[in-house]
Amino acid sequence: MVEVIEWVNPGEDEIIWRYPNEVIKWGAQLIVHEYEVAVFMRDGKIYDVLGPGRHTLTTQNLPLLYKLVGGSNSPFKATIIFVSMKQFQGRYGGETQTKELAPVKYYGVYWFKVADPVLFITEVVGGQSLYDASDVTKFIRAYFNEGMMKHLSAYSIVDLFQNLDMVSTQVKIKLMEDFRRLGLELVDVKIEGVNTTDEWRQRLFWLMQTGNAQAVMQMDTVKQVAAELGKSPGASVGTGMVLVPQLFQQPAQPAQPVQQAPAQPYAGAPPAPQQPQQTAPSQPAQQEICPYCGKPIPPGARFCPYCGHEIKRCPNGHIVPEGAKFCPVCGAKIE
């Protein structure tokens, strides 16, 4: 009876399957399905590789192994590993820190497939001694996550919350290079969400509103800033207007002469070109972010489309945090 070597009913998430019998007879039938490759290994080394088709194992199609067994036609020892070349989907999620050491959580989906089965077996399966599909899957997920953590931590919190598309694209390219080293192709990566603590969300909010990253980052806590700005003056509106520039070293805007540069979206942004006042009828719309969830919201929105929170505004339309008595941007009193 002829031995048939075949990966029967591969599971949805199975990347590899090791044929349990390691004594192979010449003349055995090897069935390799579409999107599969069969790799012959011995002592951790890869010999012959056979692609899709029905193969009768002969000295012709296994030349390297045949050479190894010394041209003998008796049964030989080899490990046969089937590798699936299909595309797989994985979910990820983890925690890292931004450049400013802000804690960030992230999660999403990625898609990958084996691009180079020999490199993959060398680096992952044989290299890590992972002969079980679920161990391989775990290894790949951990590898992905480690790369994600490392690459994300090179960005600032403003980038993560305001320029997530740009960050995703750049991180994806780096992760693709990481995967290539394992013989894998990272087909796509989707970052579905990033999040941070309440405190950092507020800090981010102040940063976006005031444009002064340094002042905000130097505050021990944002509560301190909010407390200062929200102080009931018992006095006049004027207190708030004076207080704001003190905190952020940024002149109160409405009263300033025309030479004043427009507020920057954040400290790292390149300075806007100085324009003659006549040709600049209005300030360019500044990207607004929700102080509650940190996501960009449409200009003038009354409610955040992401978290549904009501967006409070000063009479001049600036977003103000809950409980603030004065606008942190223009100093106007909040009713």
Question: Which residues of the shown chain bind Zn ion in the complex (CB under 5 A)?
Answer: 290, 292-293, 304, 306-307, 314, 316, 318, 327, 329-330, 332
Cα 266 to Cα 163: distance, rounded to the nearest angstrom: 12
> Shortest gap between Cβ of 97 and Zn ion (angstroms)?
23
Residue at token pair 């077996």 = 121
The residue (of 65 and 304) whose beta carbon lies closer to Zn ion is 304
CB 140 within 8 A of CB 112: yes
The residue (of 177 and 199) whose beta carbon lies closer to Zn ion is 199
Task: Count the neighbouring beta carbons within 10 Å of the beta carbon of residue 187.
Answer: 15
The residue (of 266 and 292) whose beta carbon lies closer to Zn ion is 292
Task: Report CA torsion sign: 133, 136, 137, 138.
Answer: positive
The residue (of 80 and 304) whose beta carbon lies closer to Zn ion is 304
> Shortest gap between Cβ of 260 and Zn ion (angstroms)?
16
> Shortest gap between Cβ of 318 and Zn ion (angstroms)?
3
CB 29 within 8 A of CB 54: yes
Task: Report CA torsion sign: 292, 294, 299, 305.
Answer: negative
> Shortest gap between Cβ of 325 and Zn ion (angstroms)?
12
Task: Provide the edge-to-edge strand list for the sheet that holds 4-6.
Answer: 4-6, 29-32, 53-56
The residue (of 200 and 292) whose beta carbon lies closer to Zn ion is 292
> Shortest gap between Cβ of 163 and Zn ion (angstroms)?
17
- Contact partners, residue 9, CB within 8 Å, separation at least 6: none
